Every structure is written in structure tokens, then in C-alpha cells.
Amino acid sequence: MDNIDQYLQKFKSIKRSTCGTINIDPLQRGGILTDEARAALVEWGDGYSICDFCPGALDQIKTPPIHDFIHKALPRFLGIDEARVTNGARESKFAIMHSMTKDGDWIVLDQSAHYSSYVAAQRARLNIKAVPNSGSPDYRTEADGYADTIEEVIRESGNSPTLALVTYPDGNYGNLPDVKKIAAICHQYDVPLILNGAYSVGRMPVNAKELGVDFIVGSGHKSMAASGPIGVLGVSEEYSGKVFEKSPTNKAKEIEMLGCTARGATIMTMLASFPKVVERTRHWDEEVENARWFSSQLEGLGLVQMGDKPHNHDLMFFEAPVLYEMSQTAKGGRYFLYKELKARRIHGIKAGLTKFFKLSTFGVSRDDLETVVSAFDEIINP
């Protein structure tokens, strides 16, 4: 350990250089803390602060009111029978997959699924079969694809897949597939369906029962104005005994939760933001309107928005041949767009991208959206 000291100085007081920018990174928009969550961070920052009055398990804590959040507010918000908090949407997905399957079972998921859905299935040692999307320019996941893919699994393995998953919306194109129809198809084959709502739960109204899904997954740091990592997990009554099975040696502790999950300030920021998060889902129409306006403005500058059109979500993917063309001769090459935006205090499009990129307009004011549109206009028409 003697040679450790050389590394220590750099860890002490690190600033976030993107503070004060307009951040249009899809990862960042829905996780910006409310003022209430910022106060909760300071109040509950110490390691295990929420455990001062623990009666045996995280979801049972009455002071602070975590029990009421997990067992009363959250199931209503998700439209499902039972809910828990986890260490993130991917941890929710793994908990479902691991508890519901045996090694070597099959899962069907959409080709547009987040990488972490694939990795969770790999960790659960499942075989994966993907429902293809329609490719450029729409990248649609069609409900009928689930029937075809389930049939394929049956042909190859002799059995139905144990689970299916649909991403709502996907993290690239912001497409919202027809989940009701997908759920109906999966249930015809007796396959329970997971809804990955990492980009919807906390941004827009989502109700598991109305959509007909058996499991619902959300992300606190992605879409519920919470400090990460934290996720939510909803399970229908039919499967809750299996997913939330208790330890034979420690009766208060659930095996898939490893006893307790988001045991710190993360859950307190989720609670603190929750009233505003509920409220903002009631104004989703305004977000969609902003996204469509922004898309039309960028298309007016020669960019092409891929995915659903008209668009129904703040997460959008653009093809920008005009910017790619400019990058061929621009100072900075393919980094020119990043630099030009940075000079205008706009962050969130990955450095080096010009031809294709994604962004989000969620919670960005119309003024700031106009600033972003003007920036693209100035860059394209200098």
C-alpha cells in the first residue's frame, strides 16, 4: 500500500465539467435531481443512514417511510401488485430472469433491447432469441415478430421460451412498440412478459396492468430524478412468490434482493423526487409536443429523424449527412460537432459522432431547445 499515495490527491475534490451546460444526453435528462432530492442527499448521505430504525429488511422500514413507498405508492404508480426497489433496472431484470428460469432456458427479447437486457440474460445463463426490428429508417419492433420468434424457439428447443422482454421505448430510437398486442401474443404461448421501462417509468404514464405485462422495470437514475444507482421492479401477484422468495435461514430477507438493495441515499432521493415525478408524468403530452417541434426544426436543417414518426418520445435518433459531410474537411475532423456544441455550452452528443447520434429533449425548456436548434443552424449555416 506504500505506493498508493501518488494516486490519492486526484480523488479529493473533483468537479463535474458539464454543470451549467444544456445536457441533451438521453442518459442524463430524466435523472436530474429535484431540489427536494438534493436536500435529501445532504440529509441522508451517510452510508447506511436509512437503517437507523430498521426492523429487519429495507422494504419494512417505517422511519423514514420506505415501507409506504414500496408497498403502497410504488405499486399504484406502476400499476402492479407488488413492487420493490433494486440497484437499477438491469438488476431488476436479472432478478426476474434468475428467479424465473433455470440455466439453459430460453428468453425472447427485442433486437432493440438495451445491452443490459442481453447481459442480464447471459448472467442468468439463458439462451437468447431476438425479435428483429424493421431496420432503417423506422426500426420498428412489430408485435407479430414475437409470435414468429417464439415459434422459432419452440422449433429449435422443443419448448416455449420461459420469458419474453420488450423495451418501451428502446434507448436508441425512442420507439414505443405495441405492448398490449405483444403481451396478448406472449400470453397465447403462456410466456410471461417483462416490460423494460427504463426510459418510460417516471417520464410518461405507464401502467403494467393496462399494458398487460407481468413484470415492469424502471430506472431511478435514468427517469425518476434519483441519484444512482437505483431501480424499481414490479411483479404481478402470480409470480411474486417466486421472484420475492424468502431465505430459508433469514425469514425477513428476500433471496433475489440479497436481503436489502438500495440501502442508502439513493432511495431517499427517489422518495424526495417522487411527488414531482408523479406530477410530470401527467404532463407527458407537453414533452411529446416539444420533441416533435424539435424534430421538425432539425429536419428543416437537413437532418433526418429515424424511428417512429410522428415521434412519441423525447429520445430521438438523427441521421445527419450534412454534418458528416462537413466533418470531412472541418478543423477537428469528426470531433468538430462536439467542439462546436461545447463552445455553445451544449453537451450530450457523444464526441466523435456526426453522421448518426441520439439525444433527448426531456425536461429541456422551449428556450433551451431553441438555443440548441440555433446552435445546429449556426454550425450548418455558418
197-256 binders of a copy of itself (CB under 8 A): 205, 207, 220-222, 225-229, 247-250, 253, 255-256
Of 160, 130, 161, 128, give the one whose Cα is nearest residue 145: 130
In the sheet that 304-305 helps form, which strands lie side by side, from edge to edge? Answer: 304-305, 315-319, 356-360
Which listed range, 7-15, 151-159, 190-198, 289-297, lies at the site for a copy of itself (CB under 8 A)? 7-15
Residues 6 or more apart in contact with residue 95 via CB below 8 angstroms: 86, 233, 243, 256, 257
In the list 52, 144, 238, 378, the residue contacting a copy of itself (rule: CB under 8 A) is 52
- Cβ proximity to a copy of itself: between 22 and 380 the closer is 22
Q: In which region does residue 163 sit, left (phi positive, over 0), alpha (psi from -120 to 50) or beta (all else)? A: beta
In the list 84, 203, 263, 358, the residue contacting a copy of itself (rule: CB under 8 A) is 263
Residue type, 171: G
- Cβ proximity to a copy of itself: between 222 and 311 the closer is 222
Cβ(93)–Cβ(165) below 8 Å:
yes
Of 98, 67, 124, give the one whose Cα is nearest residue 255: 98
Which listed range, 12-20, 152-160, 314-322, 325-333, lies at the site for a copy of itself (CB under 8 A)? 12-20
Site for a copy of itself in 349-378 (CB under 8 A): 351
Whether cis (ω within 30° of 0) applies to the bond prior to 64 is: yes
Site for a copy of itself in 19-48 (CB under 8 A): 19, 23, 25, 27-28, 30-33, 36-48
Alpha-carbon distance 357 to 312, whole Å?
18
Burial of 20 (0-12, 13-18, 19+ CB in 10 A): exposed
- Cβ proximity to a copy of itself: between 55 and 321 the closer is 55
Site for a copy of itself in 71-90 (CB under 8 A): 72-73, 76-77, 79, 87-88, 90
- Cβ proximity to a copy of itself: between 272 and 380 the closer is 272
Of 250, 220, 222, give the one whose Cα is nearest residue 233: 220
Alpha-carbon distance 58 to 372, whole Å?
43
Give yes or no for residue 190 binding a copy of itself (CB under 8 A). no
Cβ(168)–Cβ(177) below 8 Å:
yes
Q: Give the residue carrying C-alpha cell 417541434.
A: 293
- Cβ proximity to a copy of itself: between 118 and 189 the closer is 118
Give yes or no for residue 49 binding a copy of itself (CB under 8 A). yes
- Cβ proximity to a copy of itself: between 273 and 290 the closer is 273
Element at 216 (helix H, strand E):
strand 215-219
In the list 101, 112, 116, 200, the residue contacting a copy of itself (rule: CB under 8 A) is 116
- Cβ proximity to a copy of itself: between 52 and 144 the closer is 52
DSSP 60-98: G--SSSHHHIIIIIHHHHHTSSEEEEES-HHHHHHHHHH
What is the total count of residues that contact a copy of itself (CB under 8 A)?
100
The least CB distance from residue 115 to a copy of itself, in Å, is 5
- Cβ proximity to a copy of itself: between 71 and 181 the closer is 71
Alpha-carbon distance 184 to 85, whole Å?
27
Site for a copy of itself in 268-307 (CB under 8 A): 268-269, 271-272, 274-275, 278
- Cβ proximity to a copy of itself: between 33 and 373 the closer is 33
The least CB distance from residue 1 to a copy of itself, in Å, is 6
In the list 22, 61, 109, 120, the residue contacting a copy of itself (rule: CB under 8 A) is 120
What track of x and - describes contact with a copy of itself for positions 319 through 348 (by CB under 8 A)?
Answer: ----------------------------x-
- Cβ proximity to a copy of itself: between 143 and 163 the closer is 163
Phi, psi of 7 (to 5 degrees): -95, -10
